[in-house]
Structure formats: C-alpha cells, structure tokens
Amino acid sequence: MLDVLAGGGHLDVDEITRQVRDRLDSVSTQAVYDVLGALTRSGLARRIEPAGHPARFEARTGDNHHHVVCRGCGAIDDVDCAVHYTPCLTPSKSHGFILDEAEVTYWGLCPKCQEVTED
C-alpha cells in the first residue's frame, strides 16, 4: 500500500483498493481501511478531507504543505507552505492550545474545468 501511495497523488480509498488489488489480486476493503489507519497514525501517510469530497490519502508527510482543490472535478494538488511573514497562519489567540500545524485549503477551478466553463 505504501508503494501505491508513493506513486503520488491524492488517492481515495476506492482508487487505493483498485491499485492494491491490481498488485495482490485479493484484498478486502476493510483491510485497506485498517492499513490506511495504521499508516496515518504512524505518520507514513496523510489523510486529507476536503469539504464535500471523500477522504484522500497521500505519502507526502512531515512538511506542513497545503492543498488546492478544484470545485468542479475535485482534483487536488499540493501547495508548498508559505514562508516568512504569514499573518493568516498565526492565530491572534491560541486558547491555551500548543499549536503544531496549520492547514490551509485553497479552492478554485483547475485548468481542465476552466476550459469547460469557457466553452
């Protein structure tokens, strides 16, 4: 399953299951969920859940990057974290939390969906 995730992209459970079955012939959907849960808890995979879309998983972990999501087709891509002065990533009040990560999701239309709306 790590090989599937390492292949890149932001894959949902159905796509991961399909790719694992292509390699192993037989694997239950529950086994895929169980392994993804273990990989996520151990920090070897990252789960992202864009609003209105199924959970996706990726192998890129440990670098606090963000995502851009297409409102049209749901395509997802990585956006490297902003550096230097970033006021939107520094909360005005922490409410007693020890903060260790900020998650930003950018929304818009990917190039393919832009072409469709222009036609």
| Binding site members | 70, 73, 110, 113
Helix H segments across the chain? 2-6, 13-24, 29-41, 111-118
- Do 55 and 94 meet the contact criterion of CB atoms below 8 Å apart? no
- Look at the block and give the residue holding tokens 């956006």: 79
Classify 71 as helix, strand or coil.
coil
Element (H, E) at 67: strand 66-70
Residues in the chain: 119
Q: Which residues are annotated as a binding site for Zn(2+)?
A: 70, 73, 110, 113
In the structure encoding, which two tokens stand for residue 1, read together? 């399953």
Which residues are bridge partners to 67 per DSSP?
78, 105
